[in-house]
A and B are shown apart, each in its own frame.
Chain A
Amino acid sequence: MAARSVLLKHLRVNAKPLPHNINLNSSFGLSFNVVRRLFSEEVRGSFLDKSEVTDRVVAVVKNFQKIDPSKVTPNAHFGNGLGLDSLDTVEIVMALEEEFGFEIPDNEADKINTIGLAVEFIASHPQAK
């Protein structure tokens, strides 16, 4: 114990409290805020707007040969509402990949069976453009 306190005393460093009027906020704080704002804008900018995604998805689906364009609504189901089979659904998901310029992995693509799900996945994907 004694040895420990001697050691600690030896190690003690003079610590001055920071003066209160130091210019922390104006120089360092500001530039940090700017960097943070730029970064968050960049991240936000890479996600597409949900309504824009919906419009483009609906347009792609309407273009599909076997579909009656008047039946396509933003919450239609590929199988029940639009009368498509699983092969057609794969085709539509491929067409969406082409439209938005990114690859949808197989396990995600298998889950997409409504326009709503497609919109949700694409809007939450940073690489969609």
Chain B
Amino acid sequence: MASAAAKSPTRLEVLSLFRSLLRTAHEFSDYNVREYTKRRTIDGFQSNRSLSDQQSISAAYANGKEQLAIVKRQAVIYSLYAPKVKSIMELKSV
């Protein structure tokens, strides 16, 4: 992969990608998709936190960037077909 050869991202860039993913995840109107995206983001970053060699860090970062583009696109598409009723998990008091 061409982008894997690029210089590895800084700590702030990684945190910024993490924040962007979480922020975009929050835009999903469907509770299940929203929670899954958040969970998947957190799990992905936690599982890669111990990466040390430059090439795999760059590859993981490039992959994260691609995922962010997908999440952004899907958030728009899902908003066109937003569920009409809320999930029971979203009700504060029942």
A residues near B, CB below 8 A? Answer: 85-87, 90-91, 94, 98, 103, 106, 109-110
Closest 3 CB pairs of A and B: A94-B22, A87-B45, A90-B19
Question: Is B65 positioned at the interface, with any CB of A under 8 Å from its CB?
Answer: no
Among B9-17, B55-63, B70-78, B84-92, the stretch that binds chain A is B9-17
Nearest B-chain residue to A94, judged by Cβ: B22
Chain B count of residues within 8 A CB distance of the other chain: 13
In the bound complex, residues from chain A placing their C-beta under 8 Å from that of B15 are: 86-87, 90, 110
Nearest A-chain residue to B20, judged by Cβ: A106
| Total contacts A-B at CB 8 Å | 26
Q: Is the CB of B11 within 8 A of A91?
A: no
**Binary interface encoding of chain B residues 28-61 relative to chain A, with 1 for a CB under 8 A from any of its CBs, else 0:** 0000000000000010011001000000000000
Nearest B-chain residue to A86, judged by Cβ: B15
B59 to chain A minimum Cβ distance, whole angstroms, is: 19
Q: Is the CB of B26 within 8 A of A90?
A: no
Q: Is the CB of A87 within 8 A of B22?
A: no
B60 to chain A minimum Cβ distance, whole angstroms, is: 13
CA distance A49 to B23 in the complex (A): 27
